[in-house]
Structure 1
Amino acid sequence: MNKEDISKAKNPDLRASLAALERAAQSARFVAIQTNTSVVLVENGKMIKLSAEQLRQEVCKR
């Protein structure tokens, strides 16, 4: 499923799941910055490690 499919799902829990995952990801980034730890992501099938400093720079860009 992609974002559009999920947003049109009949099940309300499934529709809300994308927003919940986005909130969880943001919370994980915030905790990583506070604790000066890294976050590991998978983008396009490749594992990426973002340091707390990289996350701070990402936040400053916004």
Structure 2
Amino acid sequence: MKPLDISNAKNPDLAASMIAMRRAAAAARKIAMQTGTGIVLRENGKTERISAEQLRRQYPTESAL
């Protein structure tokens, strides 16, 4: 399913799942910045490691929370 399809799902849990995943990703970034650890992303078939310092530069408002 595409994200737009999920938001229109009849099941309310499925419809809210994209919001929950975004919230979980933000929480993971925040914890990684607080603890000085990186995160690993898999996107478009490629695996990428992002350091805590890169996260701080990319998401300055999240690191201040």
- Deviation (angstroms), 1:11: 0.4
Distance 1:19 1:48 in 2: 23
Match of 2:58 in 1: 58
* Counterpart AA for 2:3: K
- Deviation (angstroms), 1:60: 2.9
Report 1 or 2 for greater relative contact order, CA contacts < 8 Å, sequence distance ≥ 6: 2
Q: After TM superposition, what 4+ stretches of structure 1 lie above 6 angstroms from structure 2?
A: none
Match of 1:39 in 2: 39
User: Cα deviations across residues 10-53 of structure 1 (Å, max 9, x unaligned)?
Assistant: 00000001000000000000000000000000110100100000
**Count of residue correspondences:** 61
Stretches of structure 2 that go unaligned for 5 or more consecutive residues are: none
Identity value in percent: 56
Stretches of structure 1 that go unaligned for 5 or more consecutive residues are: none
Name the SS for the 2:59 alignment partner. Answer: helix
